[in-house]
Amino acid sequence: MRILGIETTCDETATAVVELGPEGRGLILSNEVLSQIEDHAAYGGVVPEIAARAHVDVMDQLVRRALQTAGVTLAELDGIAAAAGPGLIGGVMVGLTTAKALALVAGKPFLAVNHLEAHALSPRLTDGIAFPYLLLLASGGHTQLLVVKGVGDYLRLGTTIDDAIGEAFDKVAKMLGLPYPGGPQVERMARSGNPSRFTLPRPLLGRKEPDFSLSGLKTAVRIEAEKIAPLSEDDVCDLCASFQAAIVDTVIDRTRMAFARLSEMPCPVTALVIAGGVAANQALRSGLERLAAYNALPLIAPPPALCTDNGAMIAWAGLERLSLGLTDGLDFAPRARWPLTVKTDHEERAHV
Ligand code: KG4
Ligand code: ZN
């Protein structure tokens, strides 16, 4: 089974061809990404109208490149998948309409993929792991601790009550004068900083519910920065290191609480997984690796290029859905908002 995947929900235009490989993993035949970061840099964030137009400009070349690199024709595909949301609606329409048109002319099944589901299933593409697994999904717009029990079957243990983790990185970066997207910049500066120079809060530490709250931490960084302004490069490095250390401690504590929840449930997980753009962060990976080892589980983190938005994860989610016969009609509308259909811990218990 071989699928073309198209991703246009934010500021990356991405296409890929993925086929079902050995041991249930995916084989990535091509994975093309064109980032629009430079188009948006001057604005300090993604401008939806610019994003949508930029996707239109490169869409046809990127589809052609994905097929050429993979060495396949449209006729040799088994299905065509696009992220149908959640995301910036203008961009989503570009990818979705392209995929529908290709599916129509080639007479192939069409698959409307939830971008979050694609992140959630990406460790099965890279590592072929079995359900269920505990997933920390951490991107610019989402922060959730989920048990992934199957395709379309998610149990949510915790979420953020304010900022997403990636959003907190981006806002702290902006406040410190670092370019967008902030996550990789903060991580880079943190490498030469002192993580214990500033005393920052670890929000919700020790709370039983594995939820997140990050806006207070972000404000605490601002207060510390204002106290010592103007900032030298060393100050920025120390603030980044102190902020990142607080995030890592918080994530580990919250994930520890999720494990405590799991121990009360009849649901042994096969792995701890981190996915979404923030999963590219090495400090976070090392912290979670220790926590996973403590729980005698592997930590599965897709390689950085498959953590941030990409077409391979869309193709793979399409492949998983097609294997289950879950195809979509060409009238499938783009969705700016599209939460994963999840059960909460509470609902799951009520159901049992
Ligand atoms: O999944 P993604 O590519 O797009 C969304 O769906 O949001 O995630 C992008 C987010 C941004 O907030 C970015 O700052 C963050 O992931 N990010 C990182 C790192 N690389 C990307 N955050 C922390 N450390 C990184 N190395
Ligand atoms: Zn994403």
Tens of pLDDT, residue by residue over 298-323, are: 999 999 899 999 999 999 999 999 99
Order of all β-strands in the sheet with 79-85: 26-35, 12-20, 2-7, 79-85, 110-114
pLDDT digits (tens, 9 = 90+) for 14-37: 999 999 998 889 999 999 999 888
Question: For a pocket test of ligand 1, which of 136, 240, 284, 308 has the largest count of ligand atoms closer than 8 A to its C-beta?
Answer: 308
**Mean pLDDT lowest for which of 153-167, 172-186, 291-305, 334-348?**
334-348
Q: Which residues contact 270 (CB under 8 A, 6 or more apart)?
A: 129, 130, 131, 132, 133, 297
- The reply to whether 2-122+305-339 and 130-303 are identical in fold is yes
Q: Which residues contact 171 (CB under 8 A, 6 or more apart)?
A: 163, 182, 218
Percent of the chain residues past pLDDT 90, beyond the cut: 86
Terminal Cα-to-Cα distance of the chain (whole angstroms): 36
* 309 Cβ below 6 A of ligand 1: yes
Residue 304 Cα to ligand 1 midpoint, Å, equals 10
**Mean pLDDT lowest for which of 50-64, 105-119, 180-194, 262-276?**
262-276
Q: Which residues contact 34 (CB under 8 A, 6 or more apart)?
A: 12, 13, 14, 58, 62
Read off the pLDDT of each residue in 287-302 and give the average, rounded to a whole number. Answer: 96
Q: Which residues contact 258 (CB under 8 A, 6 or more apart)?
A: 134, 145, 157, 158, 210
Confidence of residue 344 (pLDDT cuts 50, 70, 90): low
Domain range annotation of the chain:
2-122+305-339, 130-303
Fold topology of 2-122+305-339:
Nucleotidyltransferase; domain 5 (3.30.420)
Residue 19 Cα to ligand 1 midpoint, Å, equals 26
The two three-digit tokens of residue 61, written as one number = 């070349």
The answer to whether residue 341 scores a pLDDT higher than 80 is no
The SS3 call for residue 267 is: coil
* 140 Cβ below 6 A of ligand 1: yes
**Residue of minimum CA distance from atom 10 in ligand 1:** 140
Nearest 5°: phi and psi at 186? -60, -45
Read off the pLDDT of each residue in 222-235 and give the average, rounded to a whole number. Answer: 98
- Cα 123 from Cα 119, distance rounded (Å): 8
Residue 13 Cα to ligand 2 midpoint, Å, equals 12
* 141 Cβ below 6 A of ligand 1: yes
Q: CATH number of the domain at 130-303, please?
A: 3.30.420.40
Look at residues 118, 48, 34 and name the one whose alpha carbon lies nearest to residue 320: 118
* 334 Cβ below 6 A of ligand 1: no
